[in-house]
Every structure is written in C-alpha cells, then in structure tokens.
Structure 1
Amino acid sequence: MNNCYRASGLLILVLAGCSAPPQTPTLQREVGQLNRQLQTLTAQAIALEQQNSLNSHSTHGVYLLPSAKSSAILQSNIGKLSVSLSNIESEANGTQALLHIRLLEGAALPAFHAQLDWGQLDPVSNKPLPSETQTQALALDAPLLPKAEAVFGVRLSGVTPEQLGFIRLHQVETNRP
C-alpha cells in the first residue's frame, strides 16, 4: 500500500510540473496591447461619427477629420468625388499631408480649382473654430494623360498634426478656358 501512495504522490508531482503556471507578464502585455488597440479604434469611431455629422450638415463641401482615417464623398460640379488624407506629418511651419481626390464615376478628372480650409475643432462642440480656420487654393491643370485621381501635397500652416482637427474641400469648379 505504501508503494501505491508513493506512486500517487509522484504522479501528482509530475502532473503539477506539466501544467505550468500562466505566464502573467505575457498576458499582461497582451491585455495592454488589446486595451491600446481598443482605445485607438474607439477614438477613430468617434472621429468618424463627428466627420459624418459635419458632412450631413454641409451642402457645399466635404469635411475630413484626420483622426477618422476615412475618406468622404463630395457631390461636386465636376462629379462625385472621393476625398481622403494620407501621410500627415509635422513640418517646420505646421503640417504637411497628401490630399487624394478621386472621381468615382470612372472618367478622367477635368482641370479644376477648389478651396481647402483647415484648422482646429472646438473641443466642446466638435465643430470647426471659425477664428482659427485658414484657407488655400487648389488647382489641377489639365493632365497630359487622363487620370481619375489627383494627389496634392498640401502644407497646412499654423497647426501641428496633433492640433489639425479638420480639413474642408469646397467650391470645386472646372477651369474655364
């Protein structure tokens, strides 16, 4: 009988050694990563909701919130456009970014001009601060080869990428000869 107890005790020790304790630091690190991803996605979803709200009240332009990381659609005088931002980076006098304007109807973009506004959002109302808004003109000359998308390198002075709350593209008109 004594041998039976010893064998059982040995078996319990062997089994206990096989089931290693959970690796707490690894689990904590993974939970931390998941929390950061969830916070990022939540902030992006809130920004997208704000962008959609601004655009639902805008009849002559389209708003993009950099934190939404999403394109927006503009029904313009030159057709239905998809507008988006990428490569938002700091520069000496503010922010630089790439503005993508794509004609969704499959035709080539005509030569056009437009206005681009940018600035900060009011932290309470989540609407653009008119006193802080800046404007620049955009123009696309007739390209040598027809294309459906134009990419503009834009310099948005006066705001850092962290402060850049919105851009607004409006007054899109074809160039008159």
Structure 2
Amino acid sequence: MAKRYMKLLMVGSLLSLTACAQQSDVRQMHNEVKTLNHEMTKLTEQTVKLTQQNALNKRSTSGVYLLPGAKTPARLNSQIGMLGMSLQDITADANGTRATLKISGESNEPLPAFTATVEWGQIQGTTESFQEVNVQNTLVSAPASTLAPSDVLIPLNLPGITPEMLGFVRIHDIQPLTP
C-alpha cells in the first residue's frame, strides 16, 4: 500500500512538474510571438514608408524625397554626379528636430564643395494625391571631400516640427561652389 501510494505520489508530482514546465514554455512562446508581432509591425511600417518614398521620388522632377520611416537611401542625379542620400539620427530638439543628412558620392572622384536646399514638413493625403504642409527650407553647404568615393554628413536643424510629425525631407538645387 505504501509503495502504491509512493508511486501515485511520484506520478502526480511528475505530472505537476510537466504541467509547470508546459506553462513556462507557453509563456516563453507567448513572449516570442509578441516580439515577432512587434517586429512585423515595424517592418510593415517601414515598407509602407519606403513605398511612399519611392513613389514620391518617381514623380519628382527635381530633388529627392527622404521619408524618416523609410530608413533607406534614395538616389539623385545632380549637377555634381550621382548621389545616394539618407537621413540618420533623427531626434527631438528643443526647437523641433535634429537629424543628419548623409550624402554619398557614387563616382571615383571626390565630391566638390556644394550647396543644397533642404525642405521639410508634413505630407497630407495619399501618395497619389498629396499636399506638402507647413513646409520650411534652409540652405546647407558642404566642404569639398578629399577621398573618393565620398561620404558627407550634414547636421540638420529642423525647427518647428517634432520627429513624430516630420513627414518628409527633400533635397534639391545642388550647386557646386566654384573656387
């Protein structure tokens, strides 16, 4: 009788431990699914922004649009050659938004000193029918590069708009500076 009781007790304990282990596995799996869902949401949002950025650039007759959520460079055939451009380090600032504009030369020649017009604001509507709202602009300049291919980092101060509200940055009118 005691042996049978011990066997039942051991089987019951084993089943209890198995049930606890299964609950732990279920919790772990739930957390992993939650993490995957979060990552999928971020990727979906990035894909939408990239699709919008590509559509805007396809329709653009001058300059290049960069959408903060796209996290992908855009190319521009400018007066100083083919350039890749992207936004980096977008953060809040007391007056609005700070970001870094990265411009990469795609030729085997160093980039000359140049100026460019940078516009920023919000986009309302759809990619097919949109309106730029609260647009501001500034002139930026970059020194000549000494290396090729060249990367130029230009700090941007975008007052009057928070990172959450920033819909686009557009770079156009790139002009080489003559010595």
Q: TM-score range by the shorter chain?
A: 0.7 to 0.9
C-alpha separation in 2, matches of 1:128 and 1:57: 12
C-alpha separation in 2, matches of 1:151 and 1:172: 15
**Structure 1 moving runs of 4+ over 3 Å:** 8-20, 126-131
Match of 1:132 in 2: 134
Check whether the contact 2:122–2:133 (CA below 8 A) recurs between aligned residues: no
> Mean Cα displacement is larger for which, 76-85 or 14-23?
14-23
Match of 2:97 in 1: 95
Structure 1-normalised TM-score?
0.85
Give the C-alpha shift of residue 35 in structure 1.
Answer: 1.0
C-alpha separation in 2, matches of 1:129 and 1:94: 21
Match of 1:61 in 2: 63
Give the C-alpha shift of residue 51 in structure 1.
Answer: 0.3
Deviation by residue 1:12-56 (Cα, 9 ceiling, x = unmatched): 658646743242332222221111111111000000000000000
Structure having the larger proportion of residues in strand: 2
Check whether the contact 1:128–1:166 (CA below 8 A) recurs between aligned residues: no
For 1:65-80, list aligned pairs within 5 A.
Answer: 65-80=67-82
How many percent identity over aligned positions? 37
Match of 1:85 in 2: 87
Check whether the contact 1:119–1:129 (CA below 8 A) recurs between aligned residues: no
Match of 2:120 in 1: 118
Match of 1:157 in 2: 159
For structure 1, the residue ranges without an aligned partner over 5 or more in a row are: none
Structure 2-normalised TM-score?
0.84
Amino acid corresponding to residue 114 of structure 1 in structure 2: A
C-alpha separation in 1, matches of 2:46 and 2:132: 24
